[in-house]
Structure 1
Amino acid sequence: MDAFQYLEKVGGVARTRQLLAAGYSRRDIARLPSKGAKQPRRGIFMLADHRPELATALRYNSYVSCASAAQHYGLWIRKAPDLHHLACDHGHGTGFIRHRTMRFEPHPSLPIAAVEDVVLHAMACLAPPASTAMAVSAVRLHGVPLELLKEQLQGDRSRPVLNALKDLDLRAESIVEVDAQHLLRTHGIAFDAQVAIPGIGRVDLLLEEFLIIEVDGFAFHSDRKALRNDLARNNASTINGYLVLRYPPEVIWFEPERVIAEIQAVLKLRRDDPARLVDGFAQPSPGVSGISPVLGFQYRR
């Protein structure tokens, strides 16, 4: 590929020394402006379609980190931050969130911090569940050792770090599961995660040994086979005496009050009058709304 194609590949922005290190001659680099690349400052080449966080990092002689680097490493994050997160050891520049400590070697060619530093910065900067989602995905997808995170953060006693370490649960298999777990914790609802139940299989969350919570991902029912499998699991859950509540990501994220209200209503009904959930279809208690479709299921005594 030529220098222009390389520039496109690395996010649309690069320093001269990066281009030289990639094997391009100064003559190759000198041709870039004629092909549409701009030079916002000496030694930096930029395409119109560039990744803004990389451009900001080069401008301030820093490295993209924390939430701004999540997409590069495929870490779980719901949305990009409003301000760029940069790691640097100087105090120059404004308009971005600064992270000063870098413990590991950064990306070999791009101005991006190492995935370990990205997660450590997130744990100290973001509140759960954003921080814990990034940490869990770094461990699961990149093999970042959990003990390394704990070791590096053991001296930090700030509230964000303590909350993130407390909520870190490697059993979560997606960002929406991390968020669902956090939602239950913040409302004092105990749960077990990724529980293998004979005759049913592995379920996302199990509450009080009778209520299954399934968090459906974006690929839920992507084909008929997936639909049949999930219907079979639901039927097996009922036959084996469990209640089931299912939620897609958008409900967990944008209607958390509804999720908690429905879960608490089912738990309360079982505690107050367990006979209503046994031997036939139960009727909802006065004041309970929005959960009647599931109240006909039996629970395991």
Structure 2
Amino acid sequence: MLPHPFPSFRRSDLAAAGWTDRSLRRAVVDGRLLRPRSGVYLQPDTPQDTIDACRLGGRLACTSALAHLDVFVLDPGVLHVHLPANSSRPRPVARRIRRHWGRLRRTPHPRSTSVEPFDAVVQAVRCQPARAALATLDSALHLGVLRLDELDELFRVLPRRHAVLRKLVDSRAESGPETLVRLMLKALGASFEVQVRISRVGRVDFVVDGWLIVECDSRGFHATWEEQRRDRRRDQAAAALGYATYRPIAEDIMWHPEEVRAALEGLLRGPAARAR
């Protein structure tokens, strides 16, 4: 099975399946096939970043490859492409590009348009700030993109400076923002539990110092009024049990972490905490 849902096809592959040069030209004109570069064809529903990677003569890599697997990455806007060592000067594309040239630890399928997940995780840890790299590791483990038994190999491959991340990895984190908040709470010296189930409330992301619930809200799961009603009723049930709830939104956790940390510190040092 291919690790990527949008494989590429060489002209020789299609010729073996009965395509002629004339039928290939017509399919490209009709939009039934895409030809990002000479002799290489893609399905018409292939995403633009994959098309651009093929046009450059490489494969999706690093955070670009992981984003297709729903693994958390901090900034998916840059196109990361792995290029073979003997590749010629790539054709230009209209976006920011980060090129990767290093040796891969896993050999991609010949028709795969992305590097293998293990290599993508290695690249993403090296490319991102330490906090984002840890969030990517947690996410990849939680989703099964990276296996626990691959961690030893992964940290052997990474530069030694990344070794500090190993003891911080926690596959229970269900989102990147959860990992980032967990690091904030550690830095504040707070005592907390993760993924706690509370009667009549359900499972919550964090319970801090036994009284503060912290839920990391993202647009994907809290956007509709129905979802917000559900959340507020959960908070109400938690309040009846003596809990206070703080819900930082994902974009603030990722892009304005100082504001979220200040809010956490205010709650943990404020009157509600001192009254306990």
For Structure 1 versus Structure 2, the TM-score category normalised by the shorter chain is 0.7 to 0.9
1:176 aligns with 2:177: yes
- Residues 35-75 of structure 1 show CA distances to partners (whole Å, capped at 9, x for unaligned) of 36786653235799964543454455433211121232222
Structure-2 change in CA distance of 1:14 and 1:187 (3 Å): farther
Aligned length: 263
Please point out which of 93, 99, 102 is paired with 1:100: 102
Cα distance between partner residues in 2 of 1:143 and 1:39: 30
Change (3 A) 1:70 1:231: same
Closer, same or farther: CA 242–87 of 1 in aligned 2, 3 Å: farther
Structure 1 residue 66 corresponds to structure 2 residue 62: yes
Residue matched to 1:85: 81
Looking at structure 2, the residues matched to 90 and 184 of structure 1 have their Cα atoms a distance apart, in angstroms, of 47
Matched, 1:232 2:228: no
RMSD: 3.5
Aligned residue in 1 for 2:215: 214
Q: Is the 8 A contact 2:124 2:133 kept in 1?
A: yes
Alignment of 1:283-294 (within 5 A): none
The answer to whether the Cα contact below 8 Å between 2:118 and 2:146 also exists between their aligned partners in 1 is yes
Query: Pick from 131, 136, 139: which aligns with 1:137?
Result: 139
Q: Which residue of 2 aligns with 1:297?
A: none
Structure scoring higher RCO (CA < 8 A, sep ≥ 6) equals 2
Q: Please, which runs of 5 or more residues in structure 1 have no aligned partner?
A: 1-8, 276-300
TM-score by length of 2: 0.76
Q: Distance in 1 between matches of 2:142 and 2:18?
A: 36
Matched, 1:76 2:78: no
Q: Does 1:274 align with 2:254?
A: no
Deviations 1:230-288 (A, max 9, x none): 333222322222222112223323432222122111211259x733xxxxxxxxxxxxx
User: What is the identity percentage for the equivalent residue pairs of Structure 1 and Structure 2?
Assistant: 27
Shift of 1:146: 1.8
TM-score (norm 1): 0.70
**1:106–1:113: 8 Å Cα contact kept in structure 2?**
yes
Contact 1:193/1:206 (8 A) holds in 2: yes
Indicate if the aligned counterparts of 2:57 and 2:87 stay in contact, CA closer than 8 A. no
Deviations 1:198-227 (A, max 9, x none): 443321112222221111232216353x44
Q: 8 Å contact 1:87–1:102 — kept in the other structure?
A: no
**1:237/1:150 Cα in 2 relative to 1: closer, same or farther (>3 Å)?**
same
Is 1:114–2:110 an aligned residue pair? no
Match of 1:278 in 2: none
Hey, what's the Cα distance between the residues in 2 that align with 1:49 and 1:221? 28
More displaced, 209-218 or 195-204? 195-204
SS state at 2:126 partner: helix
Q: Which has the larger displacement, 38-47 or 241-250? A: 38-47
- Partner Cα separation in structure 2 for residue 155 and residue 44 of structure 1: 32
Larger radius of gyration: 1
Q: Which blocks of at least 5 consecutive residues in structure 2 are unaligned?
A: 91-96
